[in-house]
Amino acid sequence: MTWAPPGKVYVIVDTDSLHGRTARDVLRAVLRGGASLVQYRAKDLSTREMVEEARALVLEARRSSVPLLINDRIDVALAVGADGAHVGQDDMPVDLARRMLGPRAILGVSAPARDLAMRAARDGASYVACGPMFSSPTKPGISPIGPEAIQSIKRAANLPVCAIGGITLANAQRVAEAGADLLAVVSAVMAAPDPEAATRELRTLVEEL
């Protein structure tokens, strides 16, 4: 049973990139702007703080019928009834995450190479994320794999592919044209003066294709 993304615009609300705003305000803005999928990433908060904030965000997202995933923390995802989680290669192993979350949750997996993507698919991923597409301010020092990599990872995993890393309003169309099913952005929206407008613009660029 393959998961079909509800649209391409995937905004990661990262507590490290709030620029003085609250996670809740940013989430509301990106929901108004038309994000199709959202993720809550909070690497430096206590579990208690994460649970309290994530609980409020889940309610906001649900009001807009947009699925919300929790980065890394399966316990937090379960505690707040999120729609799923996203795990990287340093996070919970995919098979264990899938077992804990159950068969219906959305489980994203960072898998920037063909072998990792195949393994993630076998272990229960709903989509695989590959990147960085371009050199990215949030992941300095990692060589970009480019939009050219999307098709080969898609064939390997036979799952929706999420492009991530350095995606901006200037290059989003190129990434969508290369076959990305989801375009995940942090800075392009979080660092924008108006996250709602940035989300809306991104949506216009990629959903028309």
Give me the catalytic one of 41, 119, 154, 203. Answer: 41
Tell me which stretch binds a second copy (CB under 8 A): 90-98, 154-162, 170-178, 189-197. Answer: 90-98
**Residue 154: active-site member:** no
Other CB atoms closer than 10 Å to residue 173's CB: what's the count? 16
CB of 88 to a second copy, least distance (A): 8
How many residues contact a second copy, by CB under 8 A?
19
C-alpha distances in Å from residue 146, one per residue of 11, 132, 165, 175, 179: 19, 7, 9, 9, 12
Give me the catalytic one of 21, 32, 62, 139. Answer: 139
Coil, helix or strand at residue 163: strand
Q: Which is nearer to a second copy, 43 or 63 (CB)?
A: 43
DSSP state letter for 136? B
**CB 86 within 8 Å of CB 74:** no
44 binds a second copy (CB under 8 A): no
Q: Which is nearer to a second copy, 40 or 134 (CB)?
A: 40
C-alpha distances in Å from residue 171, one per residue of 35, 60, 87, 202: 18, 29, 25, 10
Residues labelled catalytic: 41, 110, 139
Residues of this chain that interact with a second copy (CB under 8 A) are 46-49, 51, 72-75, 78-79, 87, 89-93, 96, 100
